[in-house]
Amino acid sequence: MLRVVALAARNLTRLWRRSLLTGGLIAIGVVAVLLFVAAAGSFRAMMIGQITDSYLGHLQVHRRGYVAAVETLPLHLNMSARQAQAVEEVAARIPELVAIAPRVKFGAMFSNFTETTNIRVNGIDPARELAVAPALPDRFLQGDRDGLLQRGEILVPELLARGLNVKAGDTVVLIATNRDGSVNGRTLTVRGVISGVTGPGGRDGYVHIEDARAILRSPEAEVSEFVLRARDLAAIPRAAAALEAAFAARAPEGQRVPFEVHAWDRLSPFAAIANMIDVMTLGIRVLLIAIVLVAVMNVMIMAVYERIREIGTIGAMGTPPARILGLFLAEGLLLGIVGVASGILLAFGAVAVLNVFPITFSFGQQTGLLLRPVLPPVEVALVGGTVLLVAVLASLQPAWKAARLDPIAALRHV
Amino acid sequence: MTDAVVAERVVKRYRAGEVEVTALRGVDFTLAEGAFAALVGPSGSGKTTLLNMIGCLDRPSEGRLAVLGQDVGALSRSGAARFRGERIGFVFQDFNLIPVLSAAENIEYPLVMVQSWPAERRRARVAKLLAEVGMTDQAGKRPDQLSGGQKQRVAIARALATGARLVLADEPTANLDGETAQRVIALMRRMRDEEGVTFLFSTHDPRIIGAADLILRIEDGAVRTEPAAARETAHA
């Protein structure tokens, strides 16, 4: 076998410029794919991290129908205290989950005493919110971020702060209608101004959960949504499945499960961008496969055509067809190996350079984001394996033709 | 002494487009083992067709052709390849050496790709053959660094590498000058004498015809054998 591979390697040196060109073409393809995967992957991971860590969390649990009507922040679809307790009990038993935080959400009027606008308010338990959205303090544009907020304080979204000329330390009023239709208001101090996040949240402010319940005159510790944090992003699907299974198991026979579980990607429009990145990655992979297929097949077809008499000679000498097949497959495989090896080396070099001199970019309202591409070993193995497989497949037809050549016809070939 | 080739009423027909051509019309002859024979005849007389069948590259349409005791018509494609690899050597007019391999590696090729000999045994066999054909000092050179005569000597060594009992040579001296051709013929005769290998040449070269023990004259699809004693008359 090694001798066949050694002979295949020698054969590739016959027209070394052509072999080098083909290997180079494959290498360029590998570099392009790996760089794209590294850059797109790090962009994707960074944006998902931003969205989940600063606002959405990894998972959310609502009462059935809440998310469908979320634009109106329906108070009548809040969970009762008993239901909220049930959710917390279930979450506590799922090992993939590391934190859970309740939110009370409602729509309100926001006034600086001269102007009024509408605001979406998130009533949060600051300590628990930090456990599920640890990057929330990073959104502070003004004010003391330590501990997020206390009772009587509000975090105002940048859009509103700018529009109503509100700054940290100012006094504002929130006025809301509760589920019974009665209106209530409360004066709050602006603890800070926070930036918006990608996706919904441009008009989302934060108050303490007890203030939220007080404004809404809630008779009990109701909850609009629970935000949960999984051990890591990979654990989200397992955690979601475990939650759904546990809720289903607790639901009375014949009744619908009262809760819905949503992973972050079902709540954020960025999921569509993330999916688009995945589709583009797939597209560029297909392009690479096409490059390798065309390049290797072209070279191997030419190699067989140019060596027909030689194939006739070795066939006449008694070389088994399987060994002739193996010889040409080995040539294709070696072309792939040369391309993959050099492509991977170049890609690692380029990624190292990009990490030393990182590219900055803006996304939405976030500026100065640093792109630090990472090449996951799994991706490298996947791209390398795909290229090698395609190189062998591309060689299959020419190699098969060589193995099936009639020595008489081949020796007669001019 | 057994027979290297026995042909009994061998007929070969093939299609050339819409036309069926009968290349051989009931060929009968016997070639004893150890013979040094020349297959002669005008172009298109069926020399190559007969040589291909003897080399197990093709099968007779009718009749029986036995090579080294093996019925050629009974061999499958892979069986024929195996038989060729073990028992038959080929020498070509254009040498047909593998250009990326050295002289030694070309001789070694069938031992690796056809028969999978162990390395030590291969090296010994190649060294012996290189010495026998006088190419030891050229062992590392590639075909493009060798003269025509040297290439043909390497080709002869390659044909004998696996211990072939029958060597078929298609116009082996056609691309060689007179002196070189004589040397190559002498080499093949010596190999026949030393190894007892049967040599059968398809040739127009009077030098080989002159050196042959037996002449198989093929004409109009039939073969007539002429012993060495009759060769001068045959050429007249």
Chain A contact present for B118, CB below 8 A: no
Alpha-helix residue ranges (DSSP H) falling in A61-150: 81-92, 126-132
Chain B contact present for A13, CB below 8 A: yes
Instruction: Name which of B67, B118, B112 is nearest B88 in CA terms.
Output: B67
Instruction: Give the residue from chain B lying closest to A3, CA to CA.
Output: B112
pLDDT-based confidence at residue A326 (cuts at 50, 70, 90) = very high
Q: CA of B69: how far to CAs of B88, B115, B200, in Å?
A: 12, 21, 16
Burial annotation B146-163 (CB, 10 A radius, 16+ → b, else e): bebbbbbbbbbbbbbbbe
Does A7 sit within 8 Å of B113, measured CB to CB?
Answer: yes
Contacts of B90 in chain A (CB under 8 A): 313, 316-317
Nearest chain B Cα distance for residue A317, angstroms: 6
Chain A contact present for B127, CB below 8 A: no
Residue B231 has pLDDT above 80, yes or no: no
Mean pLDDT of the residues in chain A: 89
Angle (nearest 5°) at CA B163 between B158 and B167: 65
Interface confidence, given as ipTM, is 0.85
Q: What is the pLDDT of residue A245?
A: 93
Exposed/middle/buried for residue B227 (C-beta within 10 Å: 0-12, 13-18, 19+): exposed
Nearest chain A Cα distance for residue B63, angstroms: 21
Exposed/middle/buried for residue A332 (C-beta within 10 Å: 0-12, 13-18, 19+): buried
Q: What is the pLDDT of residue B229?
A: 56
Q: What is the pLDDT of residue A364?
A: 61
Contacts of A407 in chain B (CB under 8 A): 57
Instruction: Name which of A66, A44, A57, A103 is nearest A264 in CA terms.
Output: A57
DSSP SS3 for A324: helix
Nearest chain A Cα distance for residue B144, angstroms: 12
Chain B contact present for A14, CB below 8 A: yes
Chain B contact present for A15, CB below 8 A: no
Contacts of A11 in chain B (CB under 8 A): 100
pLDDT-based confidence at residue A47 (cuts at 50, 70, 90) = confident
Residue A271 has pLDDT above 80, yes or no: no
Query: Phi and psi of B115, rounded to 5°?
Result: -120, -5
Q: Residue A21 is encoded by which pair of tokens? A: 């060109």
For CA atoms A197, A199, A202, A208, give the dihedral sign. negative
Residue type, B22: T
Residue type, A114: T
Residue B55 has pLDDT above 70, yes or no: yes
Is the CB of residue A104 less than 8 Å from the CB of residue A213? yes
Does A411 sit within 8 Å of B81, measured CB to CB?
Answer: no
Is the CB of residue A151 less than 8 Å from the CB of residue A202? no
Q: How many helices (H) does chain B have, and how many strands (E)?
A: 8, 10
CA distance A25 to A289: 12
Residues 88-117 of A with CB under 8 A from B: none
Residues 237-276 of A with CB under 8 A from B: none
Instruction: Give the residue from chain A lying closest to B112, CA to CA.
Output: A3
Is the CB of residue B223 less than 8 Å from the CB of residue B28? yes
- A70-88 mean pLDDT: 91
Does A315 sit within 8 Å of B113, measured CB to CB?
Answer: no
Chain A contact present for B82, CB below 8 A: yes
**For B62-121, how does the pLDDT look when each residue is reduced to its tens digit (9 = 90+)?**
999 999 988 988 888 888 998 998 899 998 888 889 888 999 999 999 998 888 888 899
Mean pLDDT of the residues in chain B: 86
- A42-71 mean pLDDT: 88
Chain A contact present for B95, CB below 8 A: no
**For A297-320, how does the pLDDT look when each residue is reduced to its tens digit (9 = 90+)?**
888 898 899 889 889 999 998 888
**For B119-172, how does the pLDDT look when each residue is reduced to its tens digit (9 = 90+)?**
899 999 999 989 888 889 999 999 999 988 889 889 988 988 888 899 998 888
Instruction: For residue B70, give its domain range.
Output: 3-235
Contacts of B52 in chain A (CB under 8 A): 408
Residue A229 has pLDDT above 90, yes or no: yes
Substitution target in A7, A317, A405 with the highest count of B β-carbons within 10 Å is A317
Give Cβ neighbours of residue B49 (< 8 Å, ≥ 6 apart).
B12, B14, B23, B24, B58
Q: What is the pLDDT of residue B49?
A: 87
**For B17-44, how does the pLDDT look when each residue is reduced to its tens digit (9 = 90+)?**
888 888 888 889 899 988 999 999 888 8
Q: CA of A395: how far to CAs of A206, A302, A312, A355, A405, in Å?
A: 62, 11, 19, 37, 15
Contacts of B152 in chain A (CB under 8 A): none
Top pLDDT among A267 and A82 is at: A82
CA distance A57 to B202: 86
- In the Cβ-directed half-sphere of A356, how many Cα atoms lie within 13 Å? 6
Percent above pLDDT 90 for chain A: 53
Q: What is the pLDDT of residue B148?
A: 87
Q: CA of A128: how far to CAs of A74, A105, A106, A294, B113, in Å?
A: 23, 16, 19, 56, 72
CA distance A75 to A80: 11
Q: What is the pLDDT of residue A240?
A: 94
Does A320 sit within 8 Å of B78, measured CB to CB?
Answer: yes
Contacts of B111 in chain A (CB under 8 A): none
Q: Residue B36 is encoded by which pair of tokens? A: 């040094």
Is the CB of residue A141 less than 8 Å from the CB of residue A193? yes
Does A3 sit within 8 Å of B112, measured CB to CB?
Answer: yes
CA B184 from chain centre, in angstroms, equals 13
List the CATH number of the domain containing B86: 3.40.50.300
Does B96 sit within 8 Å of A408, measured CB to CB?
Answer: no
Nearest chain A Cα distance for residue B158, angstroms: 9
Q: Residue A11 is encoded by which pair of tokens? A: 């054969």
Contacts of B89 in chain A (CB under 8 A): 317
Residues 134-173 of A with CB under 8 A from B: none
Q: What is the pLDDT of residue B185?
A: 85
CA distance A314 to B98: 9
Q: What is the pLDDT of residue B234?
A: 44
Nearest chain B Cα distance for residue A294, angstroms: 26
Residue B178 has pLDDT above 80, yes or no: no
Residue type, A375: L
Instruction: Give the residue from chain B lying closest to A315, CA to CA.
Output: B81
Residue A257 has pLDDT above 50, yes or no: yes
Residue A43 has pLDDT above 50, yes or no: yes
| Number of independent structural domains in chain B | 1
Residues 315-344 of A with CB under 8 A from B: 315-321, 323, 327
Q: CA of B218: how far to CAs of B28, B43, B45, B114, B232, in Å?
A: 11, 10, 6, 32, 17
Instruction: Give the residue from chain A lying closest to B90, CA to CA.
Output: A317
The C-alpha R_g of chain B, in whole angstroms, comes to: 18
Q: Residue A320 is encoded by which pair of tokens? A: 């088994």
Q: What is the pLDDT of residue A331?
A: 92
Q: What is the pLDDT of residue B115?
A: 85
Residue B1 has pLDDT above 70, yes or no: no
Nearest to A408 among B58, B77, B78 (CB): B58
Does A318 sit within 8 Å of B86, measured CB to CB?
Answer: yes
